[in-house]
Amino acid sequence: MGLLYTCLKYLVVSLWSIFVIAPFLWAISTSFKDFQSVTNGATYIPWVDFEPTLEGWRALWKSPAKGGVDIVEPFFNSIFVTCAGSLISILLGTLAAYALSRFTFKAGFIRNSDITFFFISQRIMPPVVLAIPFFIMLGKFALLDTLLGLIVVYIVLLMPIAVWIMVDFFNKVPREIDETALIDGCNPYQAFYKVVLPNSIPGIIVAGMFCLIFGWTDFFFSFILTFTEVQLLPVAIVALNSSITPWWSLSAAALVSVAPLIAVAFVVERYLSKGNLSGALK
């Protein structure tokens, strides 16, 4: 029974691992192929099934004039917009969440839970509902097709995530922590940044990770709100698709786009495995 259970367990884990890893292996393999290797039937192993080439990778930083696709600028645009949007969202979201967790707000029938729901409700609507208002508003402020315009939109999209995660986190932080800091001589602001904030780093990391993932993978808004001046990575990758799909460059670009998230996942995973994201207070 025990042996059967172990075998089944390993079988399920192995199948799941294959399911997760296979697309990556396929993309890595394809990124080293050329037109011939892709179109002449299924091939998998370099040097055995096909002769590897770096053409697909080289095309990524060659200018279109030289037959490349140049995703370097969109890559750094994406990094800038995602990081700026996430940082500001975390900053504002953490402050809002602390206030919602610790102070009581009343305005007519509106209470703290209603305000929290209002934040989260921004994510309930389908993105297409927001697209036209965003387009009109950014147009009015001359922010269409600019990095600043995208950052503003990303803050609107990412802050609900930060507020949602951080309200829940602060609600689990005992109020006695704040009260002790006040008793020890802090004013409410000092109690927040000297005591509560350092203890909330695990929550901030989780919220930051979600913001980065949602920001980095957004295609819809970067596609709608930019034209020629500014391009983000997801839009640049989709733009690769032409009448003859360059699977080799597309695979290389996909790997480049997923690399930062894998790096973030590794950093956070190490942090998670230390048990630092739970029970930090008591």
Partner 1 sequence: MAKIELQNIAHSYNPQAADKAYALNPFNMTWVDGGRYAILGPSGCGKTTMLNIMSGIVQPSEGKLLFNDVDVTKLSTSERNIAQVFQFPVIYGTMSVEQNLAFPLVCRNFEKAVIVAKVQEVAGALSLEGLLKKSASKLTADQKQLISLGRGLVRDDVAAVLMDEPLTVIDPDLKFRLRRQLKEINQKYRSTLIYVTHDQNEAMTFAENIIVMDAGSIVQVGSPSELFERPKTTFVGYFIGAPAMNFFECKLEGSHNVSFGGASIITETDLSKTGEATLKLGIRSEYIRIVETAGINTIKAQVQRVEDLGTHKLVSAIFDNQNVKIKVKRDQEVPLDSVSLEFPARHCCVYEKEQLI
Residues at the interface with partner 1 (CB under 8 A): 174, 176-177, 179-187, 190, 194-195, 198-199, 201, 280-282
CA 3 to CA 108: how far, in whole Å?
A: 63
| CB closer to partner 1 out of 13 and 183 | 183
- Concatenated DSSP letters for 138-193? HHHTT-TTSHHHHHHHHHHHHHHHHHHHHHHHHHHS-HHHHHHHHHTT--HHHIII
Q: How far apart are CA 124 and CA 120, in angstroms?
A: 7
Between 254 and 280, whose beta carbon lies closer to partner 1?
280
Answer for the pair 212, 264: CB distance below 8 angstroms, yes or no.
Answer: yes
**Residue 260 Cβ vs partner 1, minimum distance, rounded to whole Å:** 28
Nearer to partner 1, 120 or 183 (CB): 183
Q: How far is the CB of 187 from partner 1 (least distance, A)?
A: 6
Question: Residue 153 or 196: which CB sits closer to partner 1?
Answer: 196
Least distance between partner 1 and beta carbon 70 (Å):
44
Q: What are 258's two structure tokens?
A: 């997923």
Query: What minimum distance in Å lies between the beta carbon of 169 and partner 1?
Result: 14
Return the sign of the alpha-carbon dihedral for residues 87, 88, 92, 97.
negative
